[in-house]
Amino acid sequence: MKKRKWLSLLLAVMMLVSAVPFFPVTADAADGTVEVSTWEELKRALEYTTNCSVVKVVKDIETKALNGHTGLHQDNIIFMSMAMDKVLDLNGHTVNAYAKYYSEVAQGYLINICDKDARLTIRDSVGGGALIGEFNQEFYYEFINVSKGTLVMESGTVKMLCPSKDDQYLKCAIGVSGTAVFNGGEVLTQVTSPGGEKEERYLSRRLQAIRGEAGGSVTINGGTFDRVVLHSAPTPENRGKYELVVNGGFFRQSIALILVGDVYASNFDHLPMQINDAYFMR
């Protein structure tokens, strides 16, 4: 009799528990946001040691005074070298990444996405925000290098500033060997004259806003861009695969394919780039 009573009580408790709705525990959105106001804070927030989903810039960041007024050095470079998915919200502010000497940033880049499962999204939730890479010396530079992983740009501005004598070294604001998707924003290149004044544009083919590499994937759906270049060639391996696809956007300069490697006429039944829609502003 007691056994039946206990079974009846247990059944009643189970029915009561099943009738109560289950609400999963969710973290507050603020728990996934880290606010930064210096380059060092930005570097830490974008690396794998900081667990966050959004990195929000809350103050203009200037780096010229770092390291004895020589700007960023090797140990200041941002590496996204582990699996992560983060959003950089410029929040209406300017981040100026300055390098005075090439020898101090020998890789030639200041931000490197270098893990296949690393993903960075750049956006500007307020408007007027910019991520600027400023280089003082003549040499080969890529401000943001997507060697692996994925870069997504939704809004804001990425700009590269460099000296005007660029007749020897290639320079680009964003270099892509991995994957990059541009849905909005601006990617621009700008030069400084010998006197230091900023000039609006420079038409040299060695100064590139986006540089796509063979084997990578660049998709442009919208935004405003200076010169966009794909360094590749038609091969049997990339037949049916597009390494640069343009579905829209405004272009202040050209979209070009620069042939590299062994090029055979028999492979020219296809190209590794496709332009579906583009508006040229010149």
What is the spatial distance between Cα 219 and Cα 71, in angstroms, rounded to a whole number?
Answer: 32
Q: Looking at residue 13, what is its pLDDT?
A: 45
pLDDT tens digits, 13-56:
454 444 444 333 223 334 599 999 999 999 999 998 888 999 99
Token digits for 127? 């408007």
Q: Looking at residue 92, what is its pLDDT?
A: 97
Percent of the chain with pLDDT over 90: 58
Residues 222-238, mean pLDDT to the nearest whole number: 92
Among 134, 131, 110, residue whose Cα is nearest residue 122: 131
Residues 252-275, mean pLDDT to the nearest whole number: 87
Decide if 57 contacts 90 (C-beta within 8 A): yes
Lowest model confidence (mean pLDDT) among 57-71, 109-123, 156-170, 255-269? 156-170
Mean pLDDT computed over every residue of the chain: 84
What is the spatial distance between Cα 199 and Cα 275, in angstroms, rounded to a whole number?
Answer: 29
pLDDT tens digits, 132-154:
998 876 666 789 999 999 999 99
Between 88 and 195, the more confident residue is 88
Position 161: which residue type?
A: L
Q: Looking at residue 138, what is its pLDDT?
A: 66
Q: Looking at residue 8, what is its pLDDT?
A: 57
Percent of the chain with pLDDT over 70: 79
pLDDT tens digits, 138-195:
666 789 999 999 999 999 999 988 776 555 677 889 999 999 999 999 999 887 655 5
Contacts of 130 by beta carbon, 8 Å cutoff, 6+ apart: 90, 94, 95, 156, 157, 158, 159
Decide if 120 contacts 89 (C-beta within 8 A): no
Between 240 and 177, the more confident residue is 177
- At residue 76, the 3 state secondary structure works out as helix
